[in-house]
Amino acid sequence: MSLLSTSGAALVKLMGEMPRGPRREGVFALWLTVRVAEDLLLVPPQPDRAVKRRVVALERRLSSLTLSAPLRRALVAALAALGNPGREQVGQVLQLLVAPARETLGGDASEILGRAARSAGQRAREEL
C-alpha cells in the first residue's frame, strides 16, 4: 500500500518535473498542505491537539518558502481553516487553493488540487 494519496503522488511527480525555484517551492507547499488536510480524514481521527501542532509546523515550514503573493494568501487562508479541524471543511480548504495554483503554477497543479478537493469532500460525506 502506498503512503501517498493519489493527489500527493501526482504533486510529487509534478515537483520532480519542475526546475528549482519559486514554482517548484509552490508545488512543494501545496503537497505539504494536501498531506495535512488529508490527515484530517483519517479514521479514527487524530486528536485536535495533534492536528493543531501539525498546522503550526506546516505554517513554520511554509514561511521559509519563496511563494507568489496569490498562492501565499491562499495558503494563509487554508492554514486558518485547518487550524479549526473539521472533516467537512477539508474539501473546501483544498478548493480554495485551486485558482491560485492555476494562476501561479499552471493547469496541472490546479487539476491535481481539484481532484484532491473532490475526493476529500466525497470521503468526508461518506463518513458522516
pLDDT in tens, 95-108: 999 999 999 999 99
- Does the predicted model carry a pTM greater than 0.95? no
92: which residues sit within 8 A by CB, 6+ positions away?
A: 81, 117, 121
Cα 50 to Cα 28, 29, 36, 57, distances in angstroms: 22, 20, 11, 11
pLDDT tens-digit readout, 48-106: 888 889 999 999 999 999 999 999 999 999 999 998 867 788 999 999 999 999 999 99
Q: What is the pLDDT of residues 3-33, one digit of tens each?
A: 678 999 999 999 999 999 999 999 999 999 9
Candidates 27, 26, 52; CA nearest to 39 is 52
pLDDT at 41 over 90: no
